[in-house]
Amino acid sequence: MARGLSPIVARDDVEATDTADVTGESPNGPVPASTPRTVGGLADESPAPSRRGNRWSGVLGQSRGALLAAISLALFIVLWHILTHNRLPLYVRFNNVPSPEAVLTRILAVSKSRAFATDVLLSCRRIFLGFGIAAIVAVPLGMIMGRFRLARELVFPLVEVFRPIPAIAWVPMAIMIWPSNEESIVFITFLGSFFPILLNTLSAMKAIDPVLIRAARSLGASEGALFREVYFPACLPSIFTGLAVGMGVAWVSLIAAEMISGQFGIGYFTWEAYSLVEYADIALGMISIGVLGLLSSALVRLLGYALMPWAR
């Protein structure tokens, strides 16, 4: 507290947080010198510079990334081909591993088969239901837990007890409690994605700037309006982090459940291929799971992009 003597006399020691006031131009080019005078008597300042940066360097960067991605995938397939074609006697046994050509043949064959399409569609449906219900339950629950202490203190102990149980450990119990296999698989998918979504929503609620809530209340916002207009959009970026993580775990849980208890589904397809000694189908199943997981993550990201125009 040696500050006692001088600082109040100092004109201002608060650092200017915005450098934008002194940078010259708006994203649309120079600001016109003569702007209409207003009651406030203000000349227009320039807005903050756009974060999007140079458009061309962005395009170049993207095509560079795509090129490198293609190279790395091609190298992997070449390596895969060499290892399987020559049946190299390494410690890892490659003699039964299907070659990329064999897998490609199966892909072409299977793309005409109705059974494979049914497996894929059924897995997608299970993800859609399990993940969708998890999002619909976890987001509001997380917000309510963040807002009301009693709700948090009641629910959080249960979360802590159930969260460490891997979804796959739920398989026997799920088969016992749900009337059909289908429901138990959806339930396990739900469990896998539920906790990441809930915890990310809850941590976003804790991180909301209290000044925003004060501002909203001063402007006459009711509790309902606060949830709709402040809490929810403030949590959205973190909710989408949770959704992305949750989507990943949902696939992990789904595949495990399908392998153990399933009839149909891409996880069941992969396990069945092992039982039937269809080695190429094992790789096909794995590749399909990877592609489906990739596509569903991209879908989540796309949705986030569409819902959060301010964060672009």
What pairs with residue 29 in β-bridges?
26
Nearer to another protein, 54 or 275 (CB): 54
Q: Is residue 7 at the binding interface for another protein, with CB under 8 A as the rule?
A: yes
Residue 33: CA count within 13 A, CB half-sphere: 0
Q: Is residue 14 at the binding interface for another protein, with CB under 8 A as the rule?
A: yes
Please, what is the minimum distance in Å from the beta carbon of residue 107 to another protein? 44
What pairs with residue 148 in β-bridges?
none
Q: Is residue 83 at the binding interface for another protein, with CB under 8 A as the rule?
A: no
Cβ distance 119 to 262 under 8 Å? no
Task: In whole angstroms, give the CA distance from residue 119 to residue 139.
Answer: 30
Task: In whole angstroms, give the CA distance from residue 209 to residue 96.
Answer: 58
Q: Is residue 38 at the binding interface for another protein, with CB under 8 A as the rule?
A: yes
Both tokens assigned to 212: 């925003």
Q: Is residue 217 at the binding interface for another protein, with CB under 8 A as the rule?
A: yes
Q: Is residue 211 at the binding interface for another protein, with CB under 8 A as the rule?
A: yes
Q: Which of 64, 93, 125, 214 binds another protein (CB under 8 A)?
A: 214
Distance of CA 257 to the CA centre of its chain: 21
Binding segment (CB under 8 A) for another protein, from list 40-48, 89-97, 105-113, 128-136: 40-48
- SS3 call for 38: coil
Q: Is residue 208 at the binding interface for another protein, with CB under 8 A as the rule?
A: no
Residues 101-130 interacting with another protein (rule: CB under 8 A): none
Please, what is the minimum distance in Å from the beta carbon of residue 240 to another protein? 13
Query: What is the DSSP secondary-structure string of 45-90?
Result: PPPPPPSS--HHHHHHHHHHHHHHHHHHHHHHHHHHHHHHHTT---
Where does this chain bind another protein (CB under 8 A)? 1, 3-9, 11-12, 14-18, 20-22, 27, 35-48, 50-51, 209, 211-212, 214-222, 225, 229-230, 233-234, 236, 308-311
